[in-house]
């Protein structure tokens, strides 16, 4: 069963956030994730949207998602994201 990492991100410092993006692919490839969505201009149907980016990443299992997110390599890189943005992040279980 697939698990999805969903992040709603408000980027404040694009230069610092770029440092996060520069190292992201190298780490991400190790954990069998697949980026499904990166959208800087989603269409809002209801509610408020205080973010600048939406991201959805699919993993084949919750274990692989957690290994990626908790890995020392990702946590070191995530410091750039944390300095440059604010995010609301959830994990949801797919239906397949």
**Which CATH number do you get for residue 36?**
3.30.70.100
- Percent of residues, the chain, with pLDDT higher than 90: 86
- What is the chain's mean pLDDT, rounded? 94
In the chain, the number of structural domains is: 1
Rounded mean pLDDT, 3-20? 96
pLDDT score, position 23: 84
- For residue 42, the surrounding DSSP H or E stretch is none
As a whole number of angstroms, the distance between CA 39 and CA 9 comes to 10
Task: Please report which confidence band the pLDDT of residue 73 belongs to, taking 50, 70 and 90 as the band edges.
Answer: very high
Whole-model pTM? 0.91
Encode pLDDT of 43-71 as tens digits.
999 999 999 999 999 999 999 999 999 99
- What is the domain range of residue 9? 3-93
Collapsing DSSP to helix, strand or coil, 59 comes out as strand
């Amino acid at each position: 069963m697939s698990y999805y990492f969903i992040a709603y991100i408000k980027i404040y410092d694009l230069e610092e956030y770029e440092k996060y993006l520069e190292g992201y692919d190298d780490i991400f490839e190790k954990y069998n994730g697949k980026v499904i969505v990166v959208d800087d201009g989603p269409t809002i149907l209801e509610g408020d949207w205080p973010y600048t980016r939406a991201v959805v990443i699919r993993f084949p299992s919750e274990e692989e998602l957690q290994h990626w997110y908790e890995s020392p390599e990702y946590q070191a890189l995530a410091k750039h994201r944390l300095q440059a943005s604010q995010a609301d992040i959830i994990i949801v279980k797919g239906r397949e």
